[in-house]
Structure 1
Amino acid sequence: MAFLKRLGWYLVGLSIGIVFLTFFLKKKSEETGSEFCYFPNCRVLKDLRSKPISYSDNVVPIFDKDSIMWRSFFKDGSIDFGKSDTKATPCKLYFIENGEQTIKVENCPNEVKVVEIY
């Protein structure tokens, strides 16, 4: 009986701790705008969003430079690591898919350049 009582109190304390932890972490992430990216796709997209974006000459006429379409690629896109060249220097090459469209992006140390749209 003593074990069940201790287990009950442990579970009550654990559940209260989890509730407080999720509440405070959610509030902190909303205030600071921080994200918790652990997967490669999320980490690369976060890195791409943190740099200024430039466009090649053949890409600019297709979309407006401040279009929602660009934001959707860099926020919700899926990187095709099979096609991408992640070992290239100085600029890594990524293919980002968003629905039916794919863009080719060069990730340089100081900027991101959108090279082509497929």
Structure 2
Amino acid sequence: MKFKFRFAYYLFGLLLGVFFVIWFLGAKAESKGVAFCYLPNCRVLQDLRKKPMDVTPEAQNILDESWVNLNDIKNTLQYGDVDFSKSNKAFKKGKVYVIEGKTIHNEEITITMVNYTDKVVLENIEKK
């Protein structure tokens, strides 16, 4: 058999195998609510999202100003970017994380959160 026919059979089998792996593993992941989350930014945001959140009085004062609300904070925890140069530092028996995101009105915000083992505390919210 010529090389081009062997190569075509190989590619066909490889394509068929990849299709089945994606189909079976994709259905399994979707049914169990599993998402690909192995990158550092995704892992930190996922850890912050799954814990109960407390709000400091300073952050509550900023939330009361009504230019930002808790939905903006939740969206930032879903789609934001963690600034690792300012984050992962020890603070009051927890670790500080600085996350950049946007509000519903497309204003850039920076939130500061302290991650404890059992909860997350929203420390500060700033406009950029």
For Structure 1 versus Structure 2, the TM-score category normalised by the shorter chain is 0.7 to 0.9
Match of 1:6 in 2: 6
Stretches (4+) displaced over 4 A: none
Match of 1:38 in 2: 38
Q: Does 1:106 align with 2:114?
A: yes
Picking from 85, 88, 91, the partner of 2:90 is 88
Alignment-mate amino acid for residue 59 of structure 1: A
Structure 2 distance, partners of 1:103, 1:87, is 15
In the alignment of these two chains, the number of paired residues is: 116
SS of residue matched to 1:13: helix
Gaps of 5+ in 1: none
Picking from 68, 71, 78, the partner of 1:75 is 78
Match of 1:54 in 2: 54
How far has the Cα of 1:75 moved from its partner? 0.5
Structure 1 distance, partners of 2:82, 2:15, is 37
SS of residue matched to 1:82: coil
Structure 2 distance, partners of 1:16, 1:59, is 53
Alignment-mate amino acid for residue 50 of structure 2: S
Match of 1:115 in 2: 123
How far has the Cα of 1:13 moved from its partner? 0.9
Structure 2 distance, partners of 1:98, 1:107, is 18
Structure 2 distance, partners of 1:72, 1:53, is 14
CA RMSD of aligned residues (A): 2.0
Gaps of 5+ in 2: 103-107
Percent identity, please: 39
TM-score, length-normalised on structure 1?
0.86
Alignment-mate amino acid for residue 106 of structure 1: V
Per-residue CA shift, 1:38-91, capped at 9, x if unaligned? 211111111111211111112235169x8321221111010111122x141631
Structure 1 distance, partners of 2:109, 2:89, is 24
